[in-house]
Structure 1
Amino acid sequence: MPPSGSIENDTMQIKIGILEVQGAFQEHKVALMKAQKLLDIETNIQVTEVRHPDHVTDDLDGLIIPGGESTTISLFLKRNGMEEPLRKWMDEDRHVSWGTCAGMILLSKFTENQKQGGQPTLGKLDTVVSRNFFGRQVHSFEAPVTVQEKCLTKTDTDTDSFHGVFIRAPAVVEVCDPSVTVLAKLHRPDKNDDVIVAIQQGNVMATAFHPELTEDVRWHLHFLEMVKNAKK
């Protein structure tokens, strides 16, 4: 029996965990399965829930932190003793993480507009993120975001525009290290500015919007390609 993560008969084994506390984790699963078919190699993807420290295992190749309420998710991690296991898991270069919306807040080292008393984060991205940057739940909206990197516009059908679904969304207000790559921005005509809404630093990615709520799976494909490359 080959070890987990090996390639047998040219098929790569990939194990993805989803932090199933809040958010559209079922939609992430569906999008991952769609994106799997677009990978340039044969893969066998196992998607598993992450809700306990015992679920944070070394053979987990990738982790998705869905949206929801960042304070609630942070409290869940603290009360269930998951903060340190997750931080140690993320310290390994072969492990890939992606946070959407609240997940972006949890992955950032610095946060603006925190609730009184603050909240602990996993602190993997050298960024300052502003909670509820665009307003409260009633200010949720959908708008095109401009993709900045060719890794997300590789095929003839991909454009540099992506339909962004923003639900009580955060935004990156400051990049604190040159190793952080801006993946997408949102132009606000009323403010005449461009807001950073997707970033990547090493094997950690974050989006302020919800790609899992659209039919376009290129962000899930990029995540799987990050996982594939980290396993080499």
Structure 2
Amino acid sequence: MTKPEVTIGVLALQGAFIEHVSHLQKAVATAKAGSKIASAQISVVTVRTVEQLSSVDALVLPGGESTSISLIAERTGLLEPLRDFVRVQRKPVWGTCAGLILLSDQASKAKKGGQNLIGGLHVLCQRNHFGRQTESFSCNLALPFTNPYDVDDLFPAVFIRAPIIEQLLDDSTARLGALKIEDNSEESLVVSAPRLEADKDDATAVEIICQLPDSTGTEAGDIVAVRQGHIFGTSFHPELTPDVRLHAWWLEECALPFVL
């Protein structure tokens, strides 16, 4: 029987896109027999143009510099097609770090002059929550939903100038609209994705996937991974570790169910 063909794209405008391509390819190559991954003919490609975007069934937005990625996307005519991909066609998408910021309906600590967001993920995301590059860190996270794809181990997560989910937004009036500026400081600059006609039909709830432990180590702290239907977002960089469990899980549970 012929396997269905599925094309996974990785946005390759800036950032760690090569690492995502490698991890996705490894997840496909090591898929277990009987899995959705093994039942499809999956190819992984980079996306830099509108034509390439139109050819993929699901998309990864990598980490990097969110302002630079959005600026390049606007200049190359990709910004509106990306919004259509995520919010109108509602194809599966995963944003890591900068990609999470771009997918958020709102982002705080934005740079002066504002920043373009793709939107679709009903959250307020805080940019650079942990500080500058020197405050980058790694830690082991409990992601039990990935265990069927490997041993029952903690997941090594890398945080580099990472954002967090500051607030879940359930009111479309509050989460979308024009640029909002509370005052002139960068600390309080909040940008919003523009409204789309398709947004009125989107009431999918946001599910918290993972939170960091708080200072006591016993209660949930900063939100670093969320899922909203076809959209998945992580603050950290799973592509910068040798572990491909999260890429395999995303393909199996988030991307392929919307495609096959």
Instruction: Pick one of 84, 109, 131 that aligns with 1:113.
Output: 109
The corresponding residue for 2:186 is: none
Structure (1 or 2) with the greater strand fraction = 1
Q: How does the TM-score come out when normalised to structure 1?
A: 0.87
Contact 2:103 2:118 in 1 (8 A): yes
Contact 2:149 2:248 in 1 (8 A): no
- How far apart are 1:53 and its partner, in Å? 1.6
How many residue pairs get matched?
Answer: 219
Contact 1:23 1:66 in 2 (8 A): yes
The corresponding residue for 2:4 is: 12
Output the CA distance in 2 between the equivalents of 1:131 and 1:139. 14
Instruction: Pick one of 70, 90, 99 that aligns with 2:95.
Output: 99
1:183 aligns with 2:176: no
1:43 aligns with 2:43: no
Q: How does the TM-score come out when normalised to structure 2?
A: 0.78
Amino acid at match of 2:208: V
Contact 1:144 1:186 in 2 (8 A): no
The corresponding residue for 1:167 is: 160
- Over 3 Å counting, the alpha-carbon distance change for 1:12 and 1:169 in structure 2 is same
Structure (1 or 2) with the greater helix fraction = 2
Correspondence list, 1:66-81, <5 A: 66-81=62-77
- How far apart are 1:139 and its partner, in Å? 0.6
- Over 3 Å counting, the alpha-carbon distance change for 1:224 and 1:193 in structure 2 is closer
Tell which deviates more after alignment, 74-83 or 28-37. Answer: 28-37
- How far apart are 1:189 and its partner, in Å? 2.5
Unaligned runs of 5+ in 2: 171-203
Instruction: Pick one of 219, 240, 243 that aligns with 1:216.
Output: 243
Q: Could you say what the CA RMSD is over the residues aligned between the two structures, in angstroms?
A: 1.9
Q: Deviations over 1:173-214 (max 9, x none)?
A: 111137111111112437976111011101011111010111
Output the CA distance in 2 between the equivalents of 1:25 and 1:137. 19
The corresponding residue for 1:202 is: 229
- How far apart are 1:50 and its partner, in Å? 1.0
Unaligned runs of 5+ in 1: 1-8
Same amino acid, percent of matched pairs: 40
Correspondence list, 1:137-176, <5 A: 137-147=133-143, 151-154=145-148, 157-159=151-153, 161-176=154-169
The corresponding residue for 1:84 is: 80
